[in-house]
């Protein structure tokens, strides 16, 4: 997975952290959780606030 795989990342986070409300997460935590996902292989420098916002929004939609 890469940073651009936003929907897949959101689905993985939803499966891995079902007790977490994605509306309340901090971007630092989100960044670390994405980096720790199995199969995630991308440069941390390729991530920015817009990507994290996209992942968070996709995760919120997945949770609803």
pLDDT at 54: 98
Over residues 6-58, the pLDDT tens digits come to 999 999 999 999 999 999 999 999 999 999 999 999 999 999 999 999 999 99
Dist. CA 38–CA 49, nearest whole Å: 22
35-52 burial by CB neighbour count: b if 16+ within 10 A, else e? eeeeebeeeeeebeeebb
pLDDT at 22: 97
pLDDT at 60: 97
Domain covering 6-63: architecture:
Orthogonal Bundle (1.10)
What are the residue ranges spanned by the domains of the chain?
A: 6-63
Torsion-angle region of residue 43: left (phi > 0), alpha (psi -120 to 50) or beta?
beta
**pTM for this predicted structure:** 0.94
């Amino acid at each position: 997975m890469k940073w651009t795989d936003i929907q897949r990342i959101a689905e993985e986070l939803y499966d891995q952290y079902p007790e977490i409300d994605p509306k309340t997460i901090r971007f630092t935590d989100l960044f670390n959780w994405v980096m720790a996902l199995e199969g995630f292989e991308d440069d941390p420098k390729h991530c920015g606030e817009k990507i994290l916002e996209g992942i968070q929004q996709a995760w919120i939609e997945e949770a609803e």
